[in-house]
């Protein structure tokens, strides 16, 4: 599993809803009713664009870096006990 961090711009639309675009990832355009929905759609669009580039051997834009996610080696977990 890998992760990319992409800067997006979200603006309110006059007719309602929001529009997300990115100067870093050409073709990323997402529209939603709320900011949260718009961000979720933007993530999906970005994932599809990046996966398509990787699948077809196309170069990613210079500002897009793919970072491999390493699984955690230690965690803190809550444990409930009766006293």
Domain that residue 64 falls in? 2-68
Please give the tally of structural domains in the chain: 1
CATH code for position 52: 3.30.160.250
Q: Is residue 79 part of a domain?
A: no
Q: Are 2 and 68 in contact (CB under 8 A)?
A: yes
- Tens place of pLDDT per residue across the chain (83 aa): 778 889 999 999 999 999 999 999 999 999 999 999 999 999 999 999 999 988 999 988 888 877 777 777 888 888 999 98
Output the pLDDT for position 75. 84
Q: Is residue 41 part of a domain?
A: yes
- Give the integer Cα–Cα distance in Å for 42 and 32: 9
Output the pLDDT for position 5. 86
Comparing C-alpha atoms, which of 38, 6, 2 is closest to residue 19? 38
Output the pLDDT for position 43. 95
Q: Is residue 17 part of a domain?
A: yes
Q: Is residue 43 part of a domain?
A: yes
**Phi-psi map region of 17: left, alpha, beta (phi>0 left; psi -120 to 50 alpha):** left
Q: Is residue 83 part of a domain?
A: no
Q: What is the pTM of this model?
A: 0.76
């Amino acid at each position: 599993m890998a992760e990319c961090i992409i800067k997006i711009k979200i603006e309110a639309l006059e007719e309602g809803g929001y529009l997300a675009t990115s100067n870093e990832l050409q073709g990323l355009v997402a529209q939603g009713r709320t900011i949260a929905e718009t961000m979720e759609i933007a993530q999906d669009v970005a994932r599809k664009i990046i996966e398509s580039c990787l699948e077809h051997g196309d170069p990613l834009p210079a500002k897009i870096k793919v970072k491999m996610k390493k699984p955690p080696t230690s965690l803190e977990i809550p444990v409930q006990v009766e006293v």
